[in-house]
Amino acid sequence: MMTLSKMSFAVALSGVLVLSACETVTDPNNPNRNAQTAAIVGAGLGAAIGIARGDDAGERNRGAIVGALIGAGVGGGLGTLLDRQEAELRQEMGSSAQIVNTGSQLIVTLPQDILFDTGSSALTGGLRNDLNTLAGSMNRFPNSTVNVIGHTDWDGSAAFNQDLSARRAQAVSAVLIQSGVAPNRIRSIGRGEDAPIATNLNEEGKRQNRRVEITITPNV
């Protein structure tokens, strides 16, 4: 059983390494910042687990070293894959999609105004090629889980927006599956008007809220 002192030290160590990771990821001149951040966080968590499992000082030290090495290897490997996939997607998709690399997942945001006509869940031709490109990337990096999440503004009833966002997410998922992505990797989610990223009090804000987010999370 982990004692209070062991738990406190493990938590403190993890906190120090996570702070180091934050400094690394905010350096805009570091092209490998996400891979390095994932490695640092993985090392911290691995070391904390190793410490927690030791019953004496020697075991805790050995556990910290082994845990850190394993955690850094796993975290760094996942971060490198995300960096590579992000670079490919930015090159292939250009400015048609917003791509955010959080260090643990990629979030690809597509505007619904280009994907769909008003009030419709039928895909237009605007970004269909980009969805095919995105599917190709997912097939080249197959060890991940994909959430397709539909969002709306607050125009119309909440029930209508919830149903519309779900149908739009399913339509995008269908294109990805038709392009070869395994169906068991994809989950379609409708969030309706519940998760705005901008104000719904003007047209520009509502336009930003009408979106489909595709999150790509590597499997550990």
Question: At 204, which CATH number?
Answer: 3.30.1330.60
pLDDT number for residue 144: 97
Q: Under DSSP, is residue 111 helix (H, G, I), strand (E, B) or coil?
A: strand
Same domain membership, residue 36 and residue 107: no
Dig out the tokens for 38 from the structure. Answer: 């994932």
Same domain membership, residue 151 and residue 73: no
pLDDT number for residue 76: 47
Q: Read off the pTM.
A: 0.68
- Residues 106 and 126: beta-carbon distance below 8 Å: no
* Residues linked to residue 184 through DSSP beta bridges, in sequence order: none
Label residues 38-55 b or e (16+ Cβ within 10 Å = b). Answer: bbbbbbbbbbbbbbbbbe
Mean pLDDT of the chain: 79
The answer to whether position 12 is within a domain reads no
* Residues linked to residue 123 through DSSP beta bridges, in sequence order: 116
The answer to whether position 120 is within a domain reads yes
Residue that is last in its domain, among 93, 116, 133:
93
pLDDT number for residue 124: 85
The tens digit of pLDDT for each residue in 32-83 reads 555 455 445 444 544 455 555 556 666 655 554 554 444 444 444 577 899 9
Q: Are strands 186-190 and 144-151 parallel, antiparallel or unpaired?
A: parallel
* Residues linked to residue 3 through DSSP beta bridges, in sequence order: none
- Sheet with strand 211-218: strands edge to edge: 98-101, 106-111, 211-218, 144-151, 186-190
Distance CA 218, CA 84 (A): 12
Residues of the domain holding 61:
31-93
Cβ count within 10 A of residue 34 = 25
Angle at Cα 187 formed by Cα 106 and Cα 190, nearest 5°? 95
Lowest mean pLDDT among 83-87, 94-98, 172-176: 94-98
Same domain membership, residue 109 and residue 41: no
